[in-house]
Amino acid sequence: METKGTRIGVVVRVRPLLSKELKANSLNNRIDINLAEKSITILSDQKQQKRFEFDEVFDEKTTQEHLYQKLKLDNLIKKVIEGYNATIFAYGPTGSGKTYTMEGYEHDKSMKPIIRDDGRLGLIPRIVKNLFDEIKKAPSHIEYTVYCTYVQIYKENIYDLLNPAQIKPPGLRLRWNQQEEFYVENLFMHPCYSANEVISHYNSGLKNRIISSHNANTSSSRSHSLLSLNIEAMDSETGSILTSKLQLVDLAGSEKVSQTGNEGAALKESIEINKALFTLRQVISTLASMRDGEASFVPYRDSKLTSLLKQSIGGNSYCLMIACIAPLDSFFEDNLSTLTYATKALCISNEPIRNIDPKTRVIKELRKEVKRLNSELLLA
């Protein structure tokens, strides 16, 4: 997705009815999609309707390949290779297609991913493959290393899905670095030199995500997962180093707590899980209502998730939000809420900056100074 200026790109994907839903004759008459206008109208009853417009709208016929192409993710990958940070996150209620969109795998009984290259692959495996294809095209004096990390946030605990010793409470701590960014302390960072290496770490992380969810006695759709591809480009000719980060985020289901019918411990769990999403919505609302140049308190620090997404939403990254909804009456309230926040996100501006290693910057400035002094000498 090419963001207009530096605004967050916001698209909506409506998933198809599943065969069991078709059999159950689930109603499907409350969403009206207009692809040409990039709009969705939600019909609340025969008379009332609410219309939303986005950067792009994808209907139930959209294939994974079409989605990837239409979002122009190859352009985003090029930006990341040039040293910009980028984030793609999927938002929406449980069962709306977030994991299908991001991951697209099916799993066998032992939760091993079944990877069929039959067009069902989601954005993550496609992005990983194309990132390395792009890296291969770079000049030979630039050496790339992709460090991959994969974390899960569940009830405000952060687990390292690439480190089996760190997939149970209390999890890892958040720290604050000099670039004014939050990071996860002691996180495993695996250097990878091919798409297959990343995918193999990602797959073991997916298995750990399931084990971790079993440990916590919950479903993985109740946790947030963040796969991060940290790219380091060393230029042997100039000695410069560029670093950038591509974050691929599959959020927990954003459904309303009241609708899950939970009580007691389960209700407490829902509230804690929703703390991150509640804060995310607050962050989105605050940023969306801020006028140009206005300073306002944005509650990033109120949850681990929003702390980690600080630079992605209202920060220095490119960002794409994929709002997922399902064409079922039971999703009606959650679809409305999802589209409402997606609309707010359309008003958020980021200021992407190219990450140059501070040492590289100094070297560049010194070189400039030497050039200037040389020309002064020649003139004298």
Of 99 and 303, which CB lies nearer to Mg ion in the complex structure? 99
Question: From the list 6, 41, 221, 337, which residue makes contact with Mg ion (rule: CB under 5 A)?
Answer: 221
- Residue of minimal Cβ distance to Mg ion: 99
Q: How many residues does the chain have?
A: 380
Place of tokens 């180093």: 241
For residue 95, say whether it is annotated as part of any ligand binding site. Answer: yes
Of 98 and 245, which CB lies nearer to ligand ADP in the complex structure? 98
Under the binding rule (CB under 5 A), the answer on residue 218 touching Mg ion is no
Under the binding rule (CB under 6 A), the answer on residue 254 touching ligand ADP is no
SS3 90: strand
Of 221 and 260, which CB lies nearer to ligand ADP in the complex structure? 221
Q: Are 158 and 151 in contact (CB under 8 A)?
A: yes
For residue 5, say whether it is annotated as part of any ligand binding site. Answer: no
Place of tokens 């939303």: 52
- Cα→Cα distances 125→99, 246, 312, Å: 12, 13, 21
Place of tokens 């008379």: 47
Q: What string marks each residue from 295 to 334 as x (binds Mg ion by CB under 5 A) or -?
A: ----------------------------------------
Cα–Cα dist 114/370, whole Å: 57
Choosing among Mg ion, ligand ADP, none, which partner's interface includes residue 95 (Cβ < 5 to 8 Å by kind)? ligand ADP
Cis peptide preceding 170, ω within 30 of 0: yes
- For the bound state, the minimum distance from the C-beta of residue 250 to ligand ADP, rounded and expressed in Å, comes to 7
For residue 97, say whether it is annotated as part of any ligand binding site. Answer: yes
Question: From the list 3, 62, 64, 99, which residue makes contact with Mg ion (rule: CB under 5 A)?
Answer: 99
Cα–Cα dist 336/351, whole Å: 29
- For the bound state, the minimum distance from the C-beta of residue 242 to ligand ADP, rounded and expressed in Å, comes to 33
Question: From the list 3, 42, 86, 98, which residue makes contact with ligand ADP (rule: CB under 6 A)?
Answer: 98
For residue 93, say whether it is annotated as part of any ligand binding site. Answer: yes
Q: Are 257 and 274 in contact (CB under 8 A)?
A: yes
Stretch that binds ligand ADP, among 93-101, 108-116, 262-270, 339-347 (CB under 6 A): 93-101
CA–chain centroid gap for 161, Å, is 16
CA atoms within 13 A on the CB side of 224: 29
Question: From the list 12, 324, 325, 345, which residue makes contact with ligand ADP (rule: CB under 6 A)?
Answer: 324
Of 167 and 346, which CB lies nearer to Mg ion in the complex structure? 167
Q: Are 360 and 50 in contact (CB under 8 A)?
A: no
Question: From the list 1, 3, 15, 246, which residue makes contact with ligand ADP (rule: CB under 6 A)?
Answer: 15
CA–chain centroid gap for 126, Å, is 14
- For the bound state, the minimum distance from the C-beta of residue 97 to ligand ADP, rounded and expressed in Å, comes to 3
Of 230 and 255, which CB lies nearer to ligand ADP in the complex structure? 255
Cis peptide preceding 169, ω within 30 of 0: no
Under the binding rule (CB under 6 A), the answer on residue 26 touching ligand ADP is no
Instruction: Give phi and psi for 251, each to the nearest 5.
Output: -80, 160
Question: From the list 3, 96, 213, 311, which residue makes contact with ligand ADP (rule: CB under 6 A)?
Answer: 96
Question: From the list 7, 16, 59, 285, which residue makes contact with ligand ADP (rule: CB under 6 A)?
Answer: 16
For residue 364, say whether it is annotated as part of any ligand binding site. Answer: no
Beta strand pairing call for 86-91 and 56-58: unpaired
Closest CA to 90 of 80, 81, 98: 98
Choosing among Mg ion, ligand ADP, none, which partner's interface includes residue 204 (Cβ < 5 to 8 Å by kind)? none
For residue 96, say whether it is annotated as part of any ligand binding site. Answer: yes
* Contact set for ligand ADP, span 207-246 (CB under 6 A): 221
Q: Are 97 and 63 in contact (CB under 8 A)?
A: no
Q: Which segments of the chain does DSSP mark as H helices, in order?
A: 19-23, 64-70, 73-81, 98-102, 123-136, 195-215, 264-289, 304-308, 332-345, 358-379
User: Binding site residues for ATP, as ranges?
Assistant: 92-99
Q: Which residues bind Mg ion (CB under 5 A)?
A: 98-99, 221
Which residues of the shown chain bind ligand ADP in the complex (CB under 6 A)? 15-16, 18, 92, 94-100, 221, 253, 324
